Amino acid sequence: MGRKPYTAADLTVLSLEEAVRKRAGMYFPAEPGSLGLLTGILQGVIGDALHADDGGHRPVDVEITAGLRFTVTDNQPLDLDDPGAPKPGFYGSLISMNRRVLAAAAALSTHTLIEVRAGGRGWRQELTGTTPGRPEPFTTSGQADGTRITFDLDPAFLAPDAAISTSPEHLRARRPGCEACASAQRDESLTIRDRRT
């Protein structure tokens, strides 16, 4: 029996935004349409921010300011090119190429604001969906190097009754296979503030 040969014409190439919206469960610990997806997005961003390349944990500050808005601040260094400017990241934005989870969260957002600081310099950029605006330099005035990113998640993509859970068992969930996550160091590294009324 003759099998039709598999060719490039049989492939569908998706953008990262399309891939995330089609299979959000590959990026976050919840499926599209589930009530847990909103919390899962925040869990994923926290996990990305916490875990350092040396296996330890970075200090991370989380602020939940509205039903679909949260900000995560960490001290993860920014990728700079030789002249000292930020290297283009996902979508040509300030989201570094090694921070795929942040890019996936931006793909599920209507608006993202990212601020990065490195070597006494800072850059701020807004993304509408995944379309980046122009990075604007700003003075860091002694602030430590790192990343601060605010996501306004897309209500059209999330379940109507979805809400971020701030219970410890949800947002402080351990990453599987992470030995440092079993220690108190992880909880000491993570600060969560809920500003919702």
Q: Give the model confidence (pLDDT) of 26-67 as tens digits.
A: 888 877 778 889 999 998 999 889 887 666 778 999 999 999
What's the pLDDT at 42? 93
In a domain, 10, yes or no: no
Report the CATH number that the domain containing residue 82 is assigned in CATH. Answer: 3.30.565.10
In a domain, 6, yes or no: no
What's the pLDDT at 131? 93
In a domain, 4, yes or no: no
Q: How many domains does the chain have?
A: 1
Expressed as residue numbers, the domain containing 188 is 31-194
- The pTM of this model reads 0.86
In a domain, 2, yes or no: no
In a domain, 154, yes or no: yes
Angstrom distance (rounded) from CA 27 to CA 170: 16
In a domain, 137, yes or no: yes
Q: For residue 170, is it left (φ>0), alpha (ψ between -120 and 50) or beta?
A: alpha
What's the pLDDT at 175? 63
DSSP output for 29-53: SS-TT-TTHHHHHHHHHHHHHHB-T
What's the pLDDT at 144? 85
In a domain, 114, yes or no: yes
Which SS3 state, helix, strand or coil, does residue 136 take?
strand
- Mean pLDDT of successive 10-residue stretches along the chain, which has 197 residues: 71 78 85 83 90 78 94 86 84 92 95 91 93 91 88 91 77 64 67 89
CA neighbor of 78 nearest in space, from 22, 121, 26? 121
